[in-house]
Structures are given as structure tokens and as C-alpha cells.
Chain A
Amino acid sequence: MADIPATTEPAAEAFGGRRARGGGQSTVRYLATKLGGGAISLALVAVLGFFLFRAMPGNPVRSVIEGRGSASYEEIKRIKAEWKMDEPLWTQFVDYMGDLLRGDLGTSIKYRAPVAELIGERFWWTILLTGTALLLAVALGLLLGSRAAWRHGSRFDRWSTGTALVLWSVPTFWLGLIMLVVFSVGLDLFPTAGMTTPGGVSGGWFAELLDVLHHLALPAITMTAVIYAQYLMVMRSSLLEEMNADYLTTARAKGLRDNLVRRRHAVPNALLPTITIIFLHMGLVVSGAVTVEKVFSWQGLGLLTYEAIGVPDYPLLQGTLIVLAAAVIVMNLLADVIYRFVDPRVRSA
């Protein structure tokens, strides 16, 4: 009795009304808080990245010189000066933060081009790959997960969760190589590397689109296969928790077909906790594409990061780190906003 926050009926009405009015204002405040938090996180990432990468083993000057055979002491000095590496660390840091505030990500040591430009070129390719893989993985995971939970303990449940977990445990690069060996080298169905056919294809934009999709297939499928298990497992456990909910008995008592009980009543409720996790993973997946991009020579952010680590190319690494961190933060923010939108209880709270 004590846990029902209602008095007599009219009083509850008044209470509900006041809450609804307060709702709009609190949404703005809520968003402002979240945005502020996101900005602070991003600033911390920028600071952390600066020191973290400089603590890494490796010397960019040596990498630059190695490309040219030998170098004199003067030349090393000149290169150091060019990258301002002869200055004390804290001056470098102040310069870097100053540039960052002006929106300047610096110049890449390896490519000798502005970092922002390099990231800009690669960004959309990564979005294409990870976006496709994510959509497939989420769709597959939610569909299989909800069906597995609905008939939990059945053969379908055992097989679908089993397969998903095996694929999840498989190293991405290994699965990628197997895919390459079987479908490219063996069956010759897909190209082995790259994002477009070298030299281009004739036949207008549609042919070019098909060409990109053809190249996209294997890396996207590989990535999907590895990551869909987490959506399946989350959806499955979330729906299992709802399985004994009383409102499902109500729905059944109404005479709904079992399928409708699942789709209309159980799944929308089970999706709620899933949303947060999906978006959280979305941010992470952008950075997680490194292995797939390397195996399939997909010219995306992951491959760029991978190549930058070898140098190590400090400005480029800092740039990609900020972009990836921003992706995670934005997705988190989006998850919170969407959650507020889809769950009526959070909306009015």
C-alpha cells in the first residue's frame, strides 16, 4: 500500500497534471546537462590522448628518416624543429590545445597533409562499412534474439544463440581471412581488397554503386557476423525478463495470436533496455572497424589509425581519437534522447 504514490483519485489527477507541465522544462535542462557532460568528456579525451600517444614506444623522427636512407645530425634537428618536437612537452601541449580550440587538428607526419582533410576523406567510408554492418547486426540480432527468447529452451534458441556466440568468440581477422579465402580466392565471388575496382568501372553512377557494394559485401558480412551476437543476447535476456509480465497474460486473454502478443506487447517493452546498449555499441563499433579494414584494405578511419600507430603519427592519432571519442559520446547522447522519446515513463518523470 505504502508504495503506491497516489492519494484519492482527484488528488492524483492534479499531481499528474503538474508533472506533465514540468516535463518540457526538465527536458531542456536534461539535454543541457547531457551536452555539457559530453563536451567535458571530449576535452578530457583530447588531453589524455596527447600524453598517451607520447608515452607510446616508437619515434616518429626515426620513421621519417628510415624512409630516406640516412640522415645527418642537422637534418634530424631540422625535422624535429619542423614538428616542434624540440620544444618542451608542455609548450607542445599548449600549442596543440590552442590549435584544437581553433578547429585545427594539425598536420600528419606520415602523409604531410592536414589531419582534418585526411579524416574527412576516410570518415564516410568507415560510416558506410560500420553503418551497414551495424544495421544488419542490429536487425539480425533483435529478430533472432526475440524469437529465441520467445521459444526459449527450444532447438531454435539453442542453435541461434550457440552460433552467435561462436561467431562472437572468433577473432575478427581470422574470420575475415577465412571469408577471403573461401569467397574471393576460392569461389571468386568477391574482390579481395579495396573499396572500388582500380581504374574505375564504366556504365555510370549505378555501375559505380554496384561496384562499391560488391566490395562492401565481404567486410560488412564479416563485421556483422562478429558483432550481432551482442544484440541477440541483450534482446534475448531483455525479453526473457518480460516473459512473465502480467500484461502479456492480459494480451493473451484478449485473444491475440501468439505472434501479436510478442510483436505488439512484449518486444516494445523488451526493446527499451536494448536501446541504450545498441547505441553505446554503435559508438564503439566505429573504432572497432580497425581489424576488418586492415584485412580487407578498406580505406577507412580504422586503417588510417592503424597506419598512424606504426609511425607513430601524433597529430593524426590525436585527430582520429577525438573523432572516435566524439562518435561514442554522440551515440550515448542519442541513446538518452531516444530513450526519453520511446519510454513514456521516463518522458514524464
Chain B
Amino acid sequence: MSQPLLEFRDVSVHYRARAADTTAEEIHAVRGVSLSLAAGEKLGLAGESGCGKSTLAMSVLRLLPKSARLEGEILLDGEDISTMSWGRLRAVRWAAGSVVFQGAMNALNPVHRIGDQIAEPIRLHGSLGSSPSTSAVDRRVAELLEQVELPVERARAYPHELSGGQKQRVMIAMALACEPKLIIADEPTTALDVVVQAQVLDLMTRLVEERGIGLVMISHDLAVLASTCERLAVMYQGELVEQGESAAVIARPEHAHTKALAAAFPTVGDPVYRYAPATSSPLGLPEAPSTSDDEPAEPLLRTEDLRVTFGGTHAVAGVDLSVAPGEIVALVGQSGSGKTTLARAVLGLQRPTSGSVYFEGERVPRSASGLKAYRRQVQLVLQDPTSALNPRHSVYEAVAEGLRIHKVPGDEREHVAAALEAAELRPADRYMSVLPHELSGGQRQRVVIAGALALEPRLLVADEPVASLDASVRGEILALLLRLRARLGLAALVITHDLGLAWNIADRVAVMFRGELVEVGAVDSVLRSPSHSYTQSLLDALPSASVLGR
């Protein structure tokens, strides 16, 4: 190979801090990164949010915001991007290198039909001649849609009419439109659930390989990268800390950060990770609970033939689920399987169509006043702590709100302090007057948990509690849940699409598929030897580096 397809030579990116209160401070987002990619090669770029991986990737097409300053050389096919004229740069964009953004999010224009959005670069870069006929462009769009296995009629659809996976396929079709030599995929499957993620990854890898396109794939998930890419590069605080063969990096990580990333996504079935989420907290992990098979006399929470129907859709179709005192139950399933609706029904936020919920043997009332007492016992932790917290309320206010609603007797400040301590925000006094935006993602989630703990509930219902958090924080929050269970006897119903999470902390797992529980049992038995084919397909969809190693 004469010259690499893409080469970073000592690339640095600075951002001018725009805040008025800081003095012309610069944020050093990327620090002297040198990296190269051969034609047709697949490289995974890993790291946590804020490590500079997206900045580095966006610098390839000079898509950085105006406040960014780029240093060093970026050679794409031998041409230096950083000194290119705007005209030349526009010609290179998409034609030489294209991007697969997080299509599931907002990367597609909501008011244009997807066919038009795919056709746009084809017309712009004249890949079908300088002024192609409408029918020629339509044919090309149809061809591209076929390649990503979408029905051709979908060209007339708007983005909101597509599912997350379909949108991601559209993004891939769009990226292939001008037959580029390089595709940069920025977190291409992050918002998708396991099964769809596996399909999309499969498709993208196949298309890229068939065409000999070079791929730079960015993700926070080492397992996803390792299952797709031959080489891995790990970034930490703007620097490239480790790179090498995927299998080698995963198996023998050298840098401490790589180790943390690798540990954050446990291998399901590996006893090393059982009841052991990755944590560096000095508080350590509690003893794994003794595995006794005798059922407790009375479950804390029990649903009986619970059904929720929307129109003609059975979101929850007759579910019997129980959570014992001090037990952690993971409710797993794909998005759309009805697991969130089930959680809402359990909490009394969604009126069930039929069936009932029993708490400590008593039927949960449906009236607002009756629910109030019940809700004190059962608290909710949401997925995204950033939107779950009111940005204008201090931590103290956020935690004290529940206390006020339920008119909890005693000193409010003491209760708040105790709750913050319990959520391991120490010293509690330091956090009370802080506003959410001054906290990190993990700290925010702890505030949400503290808000729930303030009412001394018996059960936490946590909806994807770590899905929006960084890999290294994920383990800390999971470890906190385990410690809370050990110390306070707190039971938890954790809703997740993440089987690794279930393996990390749960005692029992309930697998939900199309509104029904298809399999319920101890984590060790269900995830090691699933009896239902759906559970098996979920397990099969898990990306694993070991597959690559074989």
C-alpha cells in the first residue's frame, strides 16, 4: 500500500471558551494525535464523551464549529484537508469521505422526504453526470435503498415515519450515495437496541467491505467496535492513549482507561462480572447474595394479569411479575416490547386496562389519593438525569421536593443530607446549593437517586438508569444500587435493554417480548441457558470481541 487513505499528523484542536466569565481560555479538545488508516481498513475510535473522539472525526471534513482551531495535518487521499480552499473542501466533502451520523437522532432533516435527502449529494457532486435526469437520480436512490434493505417506496417517507433502525439505514444509504473512499460513522448505533444494532452493524460492515471503503467508527462501546473493526484506537482527554489490533486491545488493555472501558461492558456469562459492575469506588462491592432457591413468603410487589391496551395495540398483554423484598429484578427487552409501559403501570402513572398491582399483599388503589401513599414506597429513577432534573432547582430543592409533597415529618435539611449521603454525594453540604448543570452526568443521576431515597422507599423502579451515562460512570451507579440493596434492603425493578446490566447486578431477569413475559428466572440460569428463542436472539445480538477472535 503506497499511501494511507487517511492520515492524522500531530493533529490538535482547540476550542475558544465562549463563556464571558472565563478569560479567553482555550479548551484543548484534541492533543497531538497521529493516526492512519489504510484504504479499505476499519478502525474503531473509542473513548468517553468529551474525550475528543468526535472532534477528531469531524475534523476530517473540517466540520468543526467556528470556535475551533485546527493544528497539524490531516491527509485524505494524500491531500491536506486543513489547508484546502473552501471550494475544494466542498467538493471533497461526501464525494471523497462521507459521514454516518446518529440517524436515529436528529441528523435527518425532518421536513424533507428521505429520498430527496439521499438524492441531494448525488445531484450536488454530479456522481451521475453534471445534470442527471430525475429518473436517473430516482433509480440511483432506489438502488441505494435496496442496498440497505429498505423498501423502495420508503423514499417518499419523512424521517419521523421511520424507526430508529430504518433511519440509520437511510443514513448509510446516504453515505454510500457518492461512492466515497472513506466513511466516518459517529456513534452509528448508540440509540438503537441490541437486535437492531446488530442488524445495522452487520449491514454497514458488509457494504463497506464489499466496496473496499475505509471506515472510521466512533463509539463509547468497546465491544461494538471490537466486533466490527480490525483496529482500535482509544482516546482519553484529547490524547490517543492506546491503539492496536482489536482482539489484542480488548484482551490485554495496557492503559488504565482502556481497562476501565473494557470492564464497563461485561461479558454476559462470565462469572468475573457477576454482581461486580466496574467500580473504582473505595466503598467496594457488597458480598454477592447467597443463592437460596426458597421463595420468600410474600413478594414486595406483584402484578396479576396486568394489561395495558392502546387502541388496538396490547402494550402489556397479561403480565405476572413479582419483586421480593431486597431483590433486584431486571426487566429486559427491545424498545417497543412494552417494558416501559409496564413500569408506568406498576407506578400508577398509566392506568391498566385490566389486572392489578399488589404491594405488600395489598391491592394498589387507582385513586390519586390512594396512590400517593403507595408512591412514597415506590420511587422512580429515569433514564436521562439531565432532563429529569429541573435546571433551575438546586440539588437541595430537587431532593426536598418529594419530602414536601409527602409532608415528611422531621427536619427537612437533615433528610436531604441523609439522602445525599445515601446516594454517596459526600460531603452532602457541598452539593446542596449546586445547580444541575454544574454537575457531571453521574453526579446528576446520583441526585435523582437521592431524590428517590429521601422518601425511604422500599422499591426503586429504574428505567434505563445508566443508558445515558458514560462507561466509567455506569459501573459506579450500578455499584451504588448494589450497596443500597445491601445496606437498606432496597429492592429494585430495573428496566433495561442491556443484558450486561442484568448480569452485573440483577438477581432475577424477566424477558419481555411483545407485551408478554416470555421468560422469568434467576439471572445465572436464564442468561446462561435461555429456554425461549427470543432470549437466545437477544444474547446472540450482543456484540462480542471473542467472536472476532475465533
A interface, CB within 8 angstroms of B: 1-9, 11-12, 16, 19-20, 245-247, 249-257, 265, 268-269, 272, 342-345, 348
* A265-B91 in contact (CB<8A): no
* B61-A253 in contact (CB<8A): yes
Which B residues lie within 8 Å of A5 (CB)? 335-336
Is B383 close to A, CB under 8 A? yes
CB-defined interface of B88-105 with A at 8 Å, one 1/0 digit per residue? 011111110011011011
Which B residues lie within 8 Å of A249 (CB)? 58, 63, 101, 107
If A1-B193, A1-B335 touch, does A6 touch B101 (CB 8 Å cutoff)?
no
> Which range contains the number of B residues in contact with the other chain?
35 or more
* B108-A247 in contact (CB<8A): yes
Cα distance A11–B109 when bound, in Å?
A: 24
Is B490 close to A, CB under 8 A? no
Which A residues lie within 8 Å of B497 (CB)? 1
* B163-A253 in contact (CB<8A): no
Which residues in window 59-99 of B have CB below 8 A to A?
61, 63, 89-95, 98-99
Q: A7-B334, A11-B336, A344-B110 are in contact. List 16 more A-B contacts (CB 8 A).
A: A1-B467, A1-B497, A2-B339, A3-B383, A7-B514, A9-B199, A16-B157, A247-B108, A249-B101, A250-B99, A255-B94, A255-B124, A256-B124, A268-B112, A269-B110, A348-B158
Q: How many A-B residue pairs lie within 8 Å, measured between CB atoms?
A: 127
CB-defined interface of B506-539 with A at 8 Å, one 1/0 digit per residue? 0000000010000000000000000000000000
Cα distance A245–B101 when bound, in Å?
A: 12
Which B residues lie within 8 Å of A7 (CB)? 163, 334-337, 514
27 A–B pairs (Cβ distance < 8 Å), ordered by A: A1-B191, A2-B335, A2-B339, A2-B340, A2-B464, A2-B495, A6-B164, A7-B163, A7-B334, A7-B336, A8-B196, A9-B163, A9-B166, A12-B336, A16-B161, A245-B106, A247-B109, A249-B58, A250-B107, A253-B61, A253-B99, A254-B98, A255-B90, A255-B91, A255-B95, A265-B112, A268-B111
- Report the minimal beta-carbon distance from B3 to chain A, rounded to whole angstroms: 23
Is B160 close to A, CB under 8 A? yes
Cα distance A4–B125 when bound, in Å?
A: 34
Cα distance A9–B174 when bound, in Å?
A: 19
Cα distance A257–B419 when bound, in Å?
A: 54
Is B195 close to A, CB under 8 A? yes
Cα distance A343–B111 when bound, in Å?
A: 6
A344 and chain B: residue at smallest CB distance = B158
Which residues in window 208-246 of B have CB below 8 A to A?
none
* A255-B121 in contact (CB<8A): yes
B interface, CB within 8 angstroms of A: 58, 61, 63, 89-95, 98-99, 101-102, 104-112, 120-121, 124-125, 157-158, 160-166, 174, 191, 193, 195-196, 199, 334-337, 339-340, 383, 463-464, 467, 495, 497, 514
If A7-B336, A254-B120, A255-B93 touch, does A265 touch B161 (CB 8 Å cutoff)?
no
Cα distance A8–B165 when bound, in Å?
A: 9
Across the A-B interface, the 7 shortest Cβ-Cβ residue pairs: A7-B336, A6-B163, A255-B93, A12-B163, A344-B158, A2-B340, A247-B109
- Report the minimal beta-carbon distance from A58 to chain B, rounded to whole angstroms: 49
Cα distance A342–B61 when bound, in Å?
A: 32
If A2-B383, A4-B104, A345-B158 touch, does A251 touch B163 (CB 8 Å cutoff)?
no
Which B residues lie within 8 Å of A246 (CB)? 101-102, 105-107
- Picked from A3, A9, A19, A255, the residue with its CB within 8 Å of the CB of B196 is A9
Secondary structure dominating the interface of A: helix
If A1-B193, A6-B163 touch, does A250 touch B336 (CB 8 Å cutoff)?
no
Which B residues lie within 8 Å of A255 (CB)? 89-95, 121, 124-125
A346 and chain B: residue at smallest CB distance = B160
Cα distance A249–B104 when bound, in Å?
A: 15
If A250-B101, A344-B160 touch, does A4 touch B191 (CB 8 Å cutoff)?
yes
Which A residues lie within 8 Å of B160 (CB)? 344-345, 348
* A6-B336 in contact (CB<8A): yes
- Report the minimal beta-carbon distance from A348 to chain B, rounded to whole angstroms: 7
Which B residues lie within 8 Å of A4 (CB)? 104, 163-164, 191, 335-336
A271 and chain B: residue at smallest CB distance = B111
- Report the minimal beta-carbon distance from A8 to chain B, rounded to whole angstroms: 7
Cα distance A248–B433 when bound, in Å?
A: 37
Cα distance A255–B125 when bound, in Å?
A: 8
- Report the minimal beta-carbon distance from B483 to chain A, rounded to whole angstroms: 25
- Report the minimal beta-carbon distance from A36 to chain B, rounded to whole angstroms: 25
* A252-B63 in contact (CB<8A): yes
Cα distance A256–B158 when bound, in Å?
A: 21
Cα distance A255–B89 when bound, in Å?
A: 8
Which A residues lie within 8 Å of B463 (CB)? 2
Task: Output the residue of A2, A12, A16 with the most chain B CB within 10 A.
Answer: A2
Which A residues lie within 8 Å of B63 (CB)? 249, 252-253
Which A residues lie within 8 Å of B101 (CB)? 246, 249-250, 253
- Report the minimal beta-carbon distance from B59 to chain A, rounded to whole angstroms: 12
- Picked from B109, B164, B195, B339, the residue with its CB within 8 Å of the CB of A269 is B109
* A6-B111 in contact (CB<8A): no
Which B residues lie within 8 Å of A251 (CB)? 109, 120
- Picked from B93, B174, B195, B340, the residue with its CB within 8 Å of the CB of A8 is B195
Cα distance A295–B518 when bound, in Å?
A: 78
Cα distance A249–B196 when bound, in Å?
A: 25
* B95-A8 in contact (CB<8A): no
Task: Output the residue of B121, B467, B514 with the most chain A CB within 10 A.
Answer: B121
B120 and chain A: residue at smallest CB distance = A254
A12 and chain B: residue at smallest CB distance = B163
Cα distance A249–B108 when bound, in Å?
A: 10
* B464-A1 in contact (CB<8A): yes
B343 and chain A: residue at smallest CB distance = A2
Cα distance A7–B335 when bound, in Å?
A: 6
Which A residues lie within 8 Å of B158 (CB)? 344-345, 348
Task: Output the residue of A9, A245, A250, A272 with the most chain B CB within 10 A.
Answer: A250
- Report the minimal beta-carbon distance from A121 to chain B, rounded to whole angstroms: 43
* A12-B166 in contact (CB<8A): yes
Cα distance A2–B343 when bound, in Å?
A: 11
* A253-B464 in contact (CB<8A): no
Which A residues lie within 8 Å of B124 (CB)? 254-256
* B111-A250 in contact (CB<8A): no
* B111-A269 in contact (CB<8A): yes
- Report the minimal beta-carbon distance from A156 to chain B, rounded to whole angstroms: 16
Cα distance A250–B98 when bound, in Å?
A: 9
* A254-B93 in contact (CB<8A): yes
- Report the minimal beta-carbon distance from A82 to chain B, rounded to whole angstroms: 60
Which B residues lie within 8 Å of A247 (CB)? 106-110
Task: Output the residue of B92, B101, B110 with the most chain A CB within 10 A.
Answer: B110
* B165-A9 in contact (CB<8A): yes
Cα distance A246–B191 when bound, in Å?
A: 15
